[in-house]
Amino acid sequence: MEVFFGSIVLEDFKYSFFFYLDIIATLSLINDIPWFLNPLVGLVGTLPDYEQVNAIPGVMFTKSAATGKVS
């Protein structure tokens, strides 16, 4: 809405540097909106980073120096 109203109200805004900068900034916010991003990620079949958990509560993982693997 900001880009739309800005292009109507402000002279010389449409197709200027700040017009494209506002569009890029607005599109970059899509990653921060979970209700918009979750359906898109669901189509791919992976979980978002903030929902992935690779820890088991109460179990301490240590890295063995000899094998280089997490045990």
pLDDT in tens, 23-47: 999 888 887 887 877 787 777 776 6
Nearest to 48 by CA among 70, 29, 31, 27: 31
Instruction: Return the SS3 of 10.
Output: coil
Tokens 């820890």, residue located:
55
- 9 pLDDT higher than 80: yes
| Entry pTM | 0.50
Which element (helix H / strand E) includes 39? helix 34-44
- Which pLDDT score is estimated for 32? 82
Q: What is the mean pLDDT of the chain?
A: 76
